[in-house]
Chains A and B, each alone.
Chain A
Amino acid sequence: MTKFLHKIFPRSAILVLVLLTLAAVVGFAVVGHLVTRYNANQQARGRRLYAQGLADLNSGNPNQALEELRAALSCDPNNGQYELSLGRALRDTGRLDEAESYLESLWQRTPEDGTINLALARVAARRGSINDALRYYHNAMYGIWASDVDGNRRKAQTELIEFLLQKNALAEARSELVSLAAWLPPDPVLQLRTAELMLQAHDYGDALAEYERVLRLDHGNAVALAGAGQTAYRAGSYRTAQRYLQAAVSANATDANLRDLLASTNTILRTNPFARRISDAERNRRLAAAFDAAGQRLTNCAQQRGISLTTVKPAASSLSAPPGSAPSLVSLESRWLAIKPDLRRLRYEEENDLPDVIMDLVFSIEQQTALDCGAPQDLNHALLMIARNPDTADE
């Protein structure tokens, strides 16, 4: 070979360069083959370690998973999937600083990546940092996703709302929910979840609207009926709640909670003295029943707390409680005793403010005894619920 080359290229410098080039080509071929095999082995090993790591991570062994994912990443350093899983393992092992620092380094490379932003948002959420979580969740919502863009964005926004609810940031959660509902596809599952979140965010109006939207798509949807009933109940719209709860109980007669809620609703509607389209006699009867029930509740609660209630005749000034102060059981009893003699006036005096005075006292008693002695039952519970929403109770 050398002789042949010498014949073609008689000058030695050229010959040397040709030989060196040939040697380099051969070297490239050999090393190329070696590196190809090496890379294939590394990637196979990386996949194996990654699978082990994921299995350990899912089986609640994040420390072992951490080592395996680190090893997987050293086999295939640029694998984004491995990197994210390592970040997740760091987060799950409670190494939030490390997870955050690690994910931030990934974020620097691709700040628009939805997956990385979502992972960082989860770390921030785990930390309880609302500002960071909001930033990264929003980045994830408006970031780039490799597939199912809408689904992933919705998922990120739903997670953000759940986080905000967890942090009791209800105003922020409600604003996110409005935005989420605006681009929600007509999918009952998604709409029901959104409505449920609205309910948690105390956004009863939008939640009810969302449930009703589902019911327009699927009239007999039991979950939507129950949800709508619960939402209306919490909103204090007991007439609406009754309608939905009756339908929900018909659709799912075995649900004890629904039955209880319906029973409570019926009681509220049956005992509400402010209900429209009832006779004066019925109103007076309801007022008297409420007054008696409140008095009984007061007595029971005082006994439960070991307080001896006075039977001293109250002064006229104690008919109404001073504004802005929580009345004591004793003062409530004084007021109750003061009003009791006037109860018979209900039958004769049509134009007076006695019903309002009575119900004002009843509500005060129910609210105070609920604070002092726990949740009431039956009629007292109904009165407490009316006390919370007296204006909408009949809607």
Chain B
Amino acid sequence: MKDLTTASAAMTARAEHPVRFLGPRRLFEAFEDVFDEESFFLIVSVFIGIFSGLAVVCFRIAIDWTHLALLGPLPPVHSWRILVVPSTVGLGVAILVVHVFPAIRGSGVNQTKAALYIFNGFIPFRTAIGKFLCAALAIGSGQSLGPEDPSLQIGASLASALGRRLKLSREKLRLMAPVGAAAGLAAAFNAPISAVLFVIEEVIGRWSAGILGSVVLSAVASVVVERWFLGSEPIFRIPVTAFKRPSELLAYLVLGIVGGVAAVIFAKAIGFLRPRLKAMPRWTQYFQPAIAGLLIGLIGYFGFPQVMGAGYDYMDQAMHGQYVWQLLATLAALKIVATTLSFVSGTPGGMFAPALFVGAMLGGAVGGVERYLFPHLVGSTGTYALVGMGVLFAGFLRAPMTSVFMVLEVSGNYEIIVPVIVANTFAYLVSRSLEPIPIFDLLTRQDGLVLPSLEEEREEAILRVEDAVLPAPAIILSAADYIDAAARRIENSTQTLFPVRLQPSGWGAITREQIERRFKEGKGEHTIGSLISAQPLPSLYPDLPLESALRFVQNCPIVPVVNRANPQKLEGIVTSQSVFAKYAPPRRD
């Protein structure tokens, strides 16, 4: 793909030579001409989506097969198998992770971010293989983890490998991992919009036509592939959901608060245990997943096999009102324990599905309690379970926009948007106020990486032009003013530089010295406009980021700040001093 990076040179060269072939070959050559790297990248994004979709389909089948082979089709409660399988497989997975696939430990989201910001888009292909194999074994054996994060990483890894193989430019190669991540996540959730939003919100952190186009194309392609093979049904069968009385919002608000607190407990448990387990001697890493598996098996053995694995079937059952609220609350608590154990032990797998599981159970439980206390107030358990999923997504994964769209996309029901927004917003605010560091950032810091925190960037105060603006000078001249009149106007002023309103629009500037010299030369009957250079001064608007002023203040003595509705009205000026003063560190005294 050498000529792809020098596409324009190749096109020029081709243009110099006459076309010798007619027919299909010429057609292909003409087709070739339309490719620059940007277009090629978009087309490759579609292929990334296709390959990621295929990989995720295989991954899901692998998890199912593993589960059936190891645990059987029915939950083996009170059976020795439920204790032996997760612990034995955990040991095997630990050996693979330590010796063969060390890079698969940790969050796929963070590894994709690291690829984007640190490793120039590089994720080893081995990571995809390792993640596929080990996560399928771990989840299939009952470890309390989900397939979405591994799917995301498999997609990112495939995309990175393809980008390297195609020798794309560094800029494009960096973006390959997020594009693949969106494809993997979209196929895992069967929800392209949520995947695109998540990658934009949590991985890339910025919107641009090129990035968005690639991410959307890959996500859509992967979902099409996934639906082609596994059907278009969502991962859950959605129950009848409705929001009829505005007073019910209070009940959803309570759910948001409870969900926010649960999310913080979940995140703090992981944040507390993970570095301690990582700090233990290396040989313990072989046994950590096994012990986690044994403890989770014990939970299953004593009657709660629902917490094992990803738990989609049980979320479905909870949404269809098949559990009472006491059991739902117990399952939510046990799932937090089980997932914490699995994740901190270094077992490969994701936290999306567990977060959704906890949310569904918690939502159902809160709905059940509220229905018990206020029988005529609240909606169905299924509605609460569905909203609860979004609540944990917002509170635990700290992706508020994605959480709203995910619930809408998964449910296909626009009617519950208001409860979802209310509950998710409260969960996010509660979670953020109790634990300022999002879980992904926490994991990144524990791993010793310094990646941009997109939540912090979102929350960061932005300096704007209005913060550095100085008041408009007292004397503002017009291009139509005569020099002698202007000289008389400025005679008693101490101002040395005068903004000039140009005709028909724009602004310029003139110095006292220029006006006085021309006046002394006897050119008082000339206009000020004749002294101004043809190039008007650049102007700024008050709401623009202050960075935009930096480009102009070096070369212009003043930069006019004008009103957006009336550019002839001067709001003030910025100078290099006023701008740089805003960037100066605050003085200690």
Binding site for B on A (CB under 8 A): 8-9, 11-14, 16-17, 20, 23-24, 27-28, 31-32, 34-35, 38, 42, 45, 49, 67-68, 70-71, 74-75, 77-78, 90, 95, 97-98, 100-102, 104-105, 108
Contact = CB atoms under 8 A, between A and B. Distances in A.
Contact of B322 (A12, A14, A49, A102): A102
Contact of A45 (B28, B73, B166): B73
Contacts of A75: 73
A178 B47 CA distance: 67
Contacts of A68: 74
Given A34-B58, A102-B322, A12 B313 contact: no
Interface string B87-110: 000000000000000000000000
Contact of B43 (A9, A17, A108): A17
Contacts of A97: 321
A13 B44 CA distance: 10
B51 A31 contact: no
B35 interface: yes
Given A35-B57, A38-B61, A70-B313, A101 B28 contact: no
Contacts of B240: 104-105, 108
B517 interface: no
B229 A35 contact: yes
Query: At the interface, is chain A mostly helix, strand, loop or mixed?
Result: helix
Contacts of A105: 237-240, 320, 382
25 contacts: A11-B28, A12-B1, A12-B2, A13-B3, A16-B166, A17-B43, A24-B54, A27-B51, A31-B57, A34-B58, A35-B61, A35-B230, A42-B64, A45-B73, A49-B73, A70-B313, A70-B317, A74-B313, A78-B233, A95-B322, A100-B321, A102-B321, A104-B240, A105-B238, A105-B382
Contact of B229 (A8, A24, A31, A67): A31
Of listed B58, B73, B229, B382, residue having the most chain A CB within 10 A: B73
B321 A12 contact: no
In the A-B complex, list the 3 residue pairs whose CB atoms are closest, starting with the nearest. Answer: A101-B321, A11-B32, A98-B322
B313 A101 contact: no
Interface residues of B, number: 44
Of listed B4, B64, B322, residue having the most chain A CB within 10 A: B322
Interface in B298-350: 313, 317, 320-323
B31 interface: yes
B74 A71 contact: yes
Contacts of B233: 77-78
B414 interface: no
Given A27-B54, A34-B61, A101-B380, A11 B29 contact: yes
A14 B7 CA distance: 13
A101 B239 contact: yes
A20 B47 contact: yes
B50 interface: yes
B75 interface: yes
Of listed A9, A13, A20, A105, residue having the most chain B CB within 10 A: A13
A42 B73 CA distance: 10
Contact of B4 (A12, A20, A102, A104): A12
B381 interface: yes
B88 to A, nearest CB: 23
Contact of A90 (B4, B31, B32, B322): B322
A224 to B, nearest CB: 47
A101 B237 contact: no
A98 B325 CA distance: 12
A32 B321 contact: no
A201 B64 CA distance: 55
B372 interface: no
B455 to A, nearest CB: 36
Contacts of A102: 320-322
B580 interface: no
A90 B35 CA distance: 60
Contacts of A24: 47, 50-51, 54
Of listed A9, A11, A34, A45, residue having the most chain B CB within 10 A: A11
B64 A38 contact: yes
Interface string B345-385: 00000000000000000000000000000000000111000
A83 to B, nearest CB: 9
B58 A31 contact: yes
A35 B230 CA distance: 8
Contacts of B3: 11-13
B80 interface: no
Contacts of A95: 322
B40 interface: yes
B28 A9 contact: yes
Contact of A13 (B32, B229, B231, B323): B32
B1 A101 contact: no
B237 A28 contact: no
A71 B50 contact: no
Given A70-B313, A75-B73, A95-B322, A14 B31 contact: yes
A128 B4 CA distance: 74
A345 B271 CA distance: 109
